Amino acid sequence: MGTEAFVLYLATWTLVALTPGPAVFSAMTQATRHGFRASLAGISGTQAGNLAFFIAIALGLATLLQTATVAFEVLRIVGAIYLCFVGWRILRRTFSPRQVVQDSVPLPARHGSLFLQGLAIQLTNPKALLFVSALLPQFIDERLPLVPQLALLFVATALVDSVVLSGYALVAHRCSESIRNSSALSWIERAFGAALVLLGFRLLFSKK
């Protein structure tokens, strides 16, 4: 893989990462409710999901999923249900009595649960896996060993994804700091929850 191809991949994936999706709304929700540092755990879970995607591509599992219609449909439905579930939980919490925090400290959360949420949202999105598996071959040099190229592209993907998601999370956290004890924060969280529910329905009714 030449330098030009690598730079083009970085530019392409940056545009992909900037496009709002389940991972973006999840990171922003976690940052709004639990703080920026806590959202980094969820972002790490998303990158673990990306790592699983790259391993699946290296092992040929992505191609197998693409041809196995039943497996794809099951994963798609599971992913859609999970997105709706996460969005519904966020919406439900916003209608519960909010803990008033005098010093505007975000609500504490277990980082492990946030990590697993980010991981689950990524892994249960077969569209993301198929997109990555369709994108990568365009930047792979068939004359060179596959694994080192995939490893380099994964590092680039994880770095770009982490920077972009962290940027979204930081903006959400900074915006929420000034309104943490007001009703406006609840409406912001409701917007994020509703977005995840809508993305779940979109995935549920999407075609392969």
Q: Which amino acid is at 51?
A: L
Domain boundaries, the chain: 3-12+22-204
Please give, one letter per residue, the 3-state secondary structure of 117-162.
HHHHHHHCCHHHHHHHHHHHHHHCCCCCCHHHHHHHHHHHHHHHHH
What is residue 147's predicted lDDT score, i.e. its pLDDT?
Answer: 86
Tell me the two tokens of residue 24. Answer: 């973006």
Q: Which residue has tokens 């509703």?
A: 194
pLDDT tens-place string over residues 100-122? 444 445 555 678 889 999 999 99
What is residue 151's predicted lDDT score, i.e. its pLDDT?
Answer: 92
Rounded to the nearest 5 degrees, what angle is found at the Cα of 136, between the Cα atoms of 133 and 139?
160
What is residue 83's predicted lDDT score, i.e. its pLDDT?
Answer: 84
Helices H / strands E in the chain, number of each: 9, 0
For helices 36-58 and 126-135, what crossing angle results, to 10°? 60
What is residue 103's predicted lDDT score, i.e. its pLDDT?
Answer: 41
Verdict on whether the full-model pTM lies above 0.85: no
What three-state secondary structure class fits 57?
helix
Task: Output the furthest CA–CA distance in the chain (Å, rounded).
Answer: 61
What is residue 204's predicted lDDT score, i.e. its pLDDT?
Answer: 80
Residue numbers in the chain where pLDDT is lower than 50: 99-104
Dist. CA 176–CA 155, nearest whole Å: 31
